[in-house]
Amino acid sequence: MKQKLIEAAKKVAENAYVPYSGFHVGAALLTESGKIFTGCNVENSSYGLTNCAERTAIFKAVSEGETKFTELVVFSKTDELFYPCGACRQVISEFSSDLKVSIISLKDTLETTIAELLPHGFKL
């Protein structure tokens, strides 16, 4: 399943709409029910409106009625590894406090969890 998620994240990164940064990101999210939701980053000429790949995947899943996730793969099409931004960490933690997160680049992989990425996240 991990390999399937990695392939899905790499594939969706090709759809990244990144005319400003040229930085392709793809995310693949596995639900408890076994479905995969993918997302890419979508930029905007009003830069602050950009949506990250992770949040695109989560919003797609939630809008399809899925809120229970078991694994997330985030791929940056770069040699270097890039961690998810703070906003995405907070959004991920809304749904899963113990989600497995794999961060991958063209050269490396790092396995972590949302608990490690966002200790003491905001929760109501």
Encode the chain in three state secondary structure. CHHHHHHHHHHHHCCCECCCCCCCEEEEEEECCCCEEEEECECCCCHHHCECHHHHHHHHHHHCCCCCEEEEEEEECCCCCCCCCHHHHHHHHHHCCCCEEEEECCCCEEEEEHHHHCCCCCCC
State yes or no: is 94 an active-site residue. Answer: no
Q: Which is nearer to ligand THU, 16 or 30 (CB)?
A: 16
Binding site for ligand THU (CB under 6 A): 18, 21, 23, 25, 41, 43, 50, 52-54, 84-85, 88
Q: Which is nearer to ligand THU, 22 or 34 (CB)?
A: 22
Catalytic residue selected from 7, 14, 32, 54? 54
**Where in the sequence numbering do the catalytic residues fall?**
54
